[in-house]
Amino acid sequence: MPDLGRGEPRHPPRALPAPAAIDDLTTGRPHGDPLWRRVGRGAARPFVPADEARAAAELAASIQRPVTTGRRIAVVGMRGGAGKSTIAALLATVFAHYRHDRVLALDVDPDLGSLPLRLGVTRGLSLGDLATTAGGFQSFADAEPHLTRVAERLWTLPGNRGSIGDSPLDAAIYRDTALPLTRFFGITLADCGSGITRPLPRAVLEGVHAQVLVAPATSEGARSVGRALDWMAANGLRAHVPRTIAVFTVKSPHTRRTLDLDATSAILADAGVSCLRLDYDRHVASGAPISPPRLAEATSITVTRLAALALDRALRPAQA
């Protein structure tokens, strides 16, 4: 059985300090909810209805479902700036908080991806640096010195060192370097570049168990998700369509009602695709490293639901 890190003591997540270099670039980390809302929520917490508490417990249990082999989940942005790295970082944090095995947040953006920034770490070794060694790792102990630890049970590996002119990340490096690493983790989140038709994101999609398509919460964002699903169905990835969740992100407090989520959900449901909307969150919008206690309550609930949905899709039996 693969070494996924099960059996380790279960403790509350303990984030490592963010590097000073990143802190110097962020002048503030606002809370996602205003003060009055946080105070009201704290006062009401002892009176949470039993059905809400039960629903939260069921979500947690769903995220903690055991896996016999590591599950890989891709997060793909349908266009630049949609929020894919943010979604990947949020999901990685949720999985690491609830699960008992290891979680890997893998940056597979061939450009200067922002996943390390969102996780609050500086870049260390990259996928390209491990191109000749990762396949030879015999245990997690061999691989760990090459990874960056984010929190207890959560590690990350960037696609490059963050400099223009770095060796480009390609499909071959992903297959030879990233895939061998994932066998040491219960959950791997792959933060891909924008689009799905290029060789690298296609190589990622071919090897994952579920995928999250991230698009703006606009009518054009919904159309881009539809085009992506059509492309997958026509290019040998039809079985991946029902393993897909679409997430529509709201980037501004003034555009919350741009997309009719109910109508969009009804259309996508015909293809077996679930969808969620991640509403505007001041903390997420700041671009600072994500701090779970500072997220809006609605954001935390949505991302927890997304993690449960993604794992459910990843555990579904393969279809022809």
Over residues 253-299, the pLDDT tens digits come to 876 567 888 999 999 999 999 999 999 999 999 888 999 999 999 99
Out of 3.60.110.10, 3.40.50.10470, 3.40.50.300, 3.30.420.40, the CATH code matching 72-314 is 3.40.50.300
Answer yes or no: is pLDDT of 242 > 70: yes
Backbone angles phi, psi at 276, to 5 degrees: -135, 155
Answer yes or no: is pLDDT of 315 > 90: yes
Measured distance CA(255)–CA(237) in Å, rounded = 33
Question: 221-236 pLDDT, tens per residue?
Answer: 999 999 999 999 999 9
Answer yes or no: is pLDDT of 47 > 60: no
Measured between alpha carbons, how far is residue 270 from residues 9, 241, 264 in Å? 42, 11, 10
* C-alpha 278 chain-centroid distance: 13
Higher local confidence (pLDDT), 4 or 263: 263
pTM equals: 0.86
Mean predicted lDDT score pLDDT of the chain: 83
Q: What is the pLDDT of residue 42?
A: 54
Tokens for 56? Answer: 């939260």
Backbone angles phi, psi at 268, to 5 degrees: -70, -25
Q: Which of 112-126, 165-179, 259-273 has the highest mean pLDDT?
A: 259-273
Nearest to 123 by CA among 94, 154, 150, 98: 150
Phi-psi region of 168 (alpha: psi -120 to 50; beta: other; left: phi over 0): beta
Neighbours of 305 (CB within 10 A): 18
Query: For the chain, what are the domain ranges?
Result: 72-314
Answer yes or no: is pLDDT of 24 > 70: no
The answer to whether the beta carbons of residues 312 and 242 sit under 8 Å apart is no
